Amino acid sequence: MNSVKTPSLIAVCTLALLMPSASFAIDPEKKLDRLDRNDDGRISRAEHSAKAERRFAKMDADGNGVVTLAELREWRDDTPEDPKGRDGGKRHGRVFEDDQSPAEKFKVLDQNGDGRLTASEYAEACKKRFNELDNDNDGTLTESEL
């Protein structure tokens, strides 16, 4: 390896290690704020499900009821969404883990592996995620559960 490039590579790698992880960028309070439509400090199953329906509709760019990997990539990269899912503003919620590519996430969501993500597949994945987070099984998510 060229000795001129080696220090630059080391510097870049060092900076990357020192930068805070993107996974800490959204704290539970902000996540709660985005999903809690009635401002009661909790996310109900209904609020979570309604958000999933709105998100699926936004991902389905052509409105045909099916999301492709291309649509998922486009939505992830380009679609802003405000904290309450209304108009303008903040980037959409965490459908993606920070270390997952769109292709990896699509594969998880596309339960039957046909390359087409349906609303029911997406709703089922969101329901499963809600249940995983609802530690006390009370049907709501709190800041601590997030």
In the chain, the number of structural domains is 1
Domain contains 75: yes
State the amino acid at position 4 in one-letter form: V
Residue 132: CATH number of its domain: 1.10.238.10
Range of the domain at 97: 25-141
Domain contains 1: no
Domain contains 14: no
Domain contains 10: no
* 31-82 per-position pLDDT tens digit: 677 777 888 889 999 999 999 999 999 999 999 999 999 998 888 776 554 4
* 16-41 per-position pLDDT tens digit: 333 333 333 456 667 677 777 888 88
Domain contains 55: yes
Q: Is the dihedral of CA 53, 54, 59, 62 positive or negative?
A: positive
Domain contains 30: yes
pLDDT at 117: 96
Domain contains 8: no
Annotate 11-71 with three-state secondary structure: HHHHHHHHCCCHHHCCCHHHHHHHHCCCCCCCEEHHHHHHHHHHHHHHHCCCCCCEECHHH
Domain contains 35: yes
* 85-142 per-position pLDDT tens digit: 433 333 444 444 556 788 888 998 999 999 999 999 999 999 999 999 999 999 999 8
pTM exceeds 0.85 = no
